[in-house]
């Protein structure tokens, strides 16, 4: 069974990976919005890149806070996207 230190290291590594995913998404979005035809045809869909990036960022920060020793409920309480916070909170017992 993994030790607390192992869990912390894994959560920090996962948080870092999620940060990398966000960077990749942002780069892709930047490339796509440079194409005027793409913007004209798919503006609403392109805006979803920002929403996805925000979700990935919040999940990474949540993992980072938990890895730094914050309780699950405290860490979850700092999630800035209300819908995401509510969905994640439903996965936990009340506390």
Task: Express each pLDDT in 22-62 by its tens digit.
Answer: 999 999 999 988 989 988 899 888 899 999 999 999 999 99
Is 1 a residue whose pLDDT tops 70?
Answer: no
Q: How confident is the model at residue 93 (pLDDT cuts 50, 70, 90)?
A: confident
At 3 the pLDDT is 79
- Non-local (6+) Cβ contacts of 66 within 8 A are 11, 72, 75
- Non-local (6+) Cβ contacts of 2 within 8 A are 10
At 2 the pLDDT is 67
Other Cβ atoms within 10 Å of 92 Cβ, number: 10
Tokens of 64: 């980072």
At 69 the pLDDT is 93
At 75 the pLDDT is 96
62 within 8 A of 76, measured Cβ to Cβ = yes
Task: Express each pLDDT in 64-78 by its tens digit.
Answer: 999 999 999 999 999
Which residue do the tokens 């940060």 mark? 19
**Nearest 10 degrees: Cα torsion 62, 87, 91, 22:** -30
């Amino acid at each position: 069974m993994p030790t607390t230190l192992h869990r912390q290291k894994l959560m920090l590594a996962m948080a870092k990976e999620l940060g990398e995913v966000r960077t990749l998404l942002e780069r892709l979005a930047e490339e796509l919005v440079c194409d005027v035809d793409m913007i004209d045809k798919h503006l609403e869909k392109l805006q979803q890149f920002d929403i996805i990036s925000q979700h990935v960022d919040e999940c990474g920060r949540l993992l980072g806070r938990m890895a730094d020793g914050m309780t699950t409920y405290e860490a979850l309480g700092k999630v800035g996207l209300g819908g995401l916070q509510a969905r994640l909170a439903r996965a936990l017992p009340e506390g």
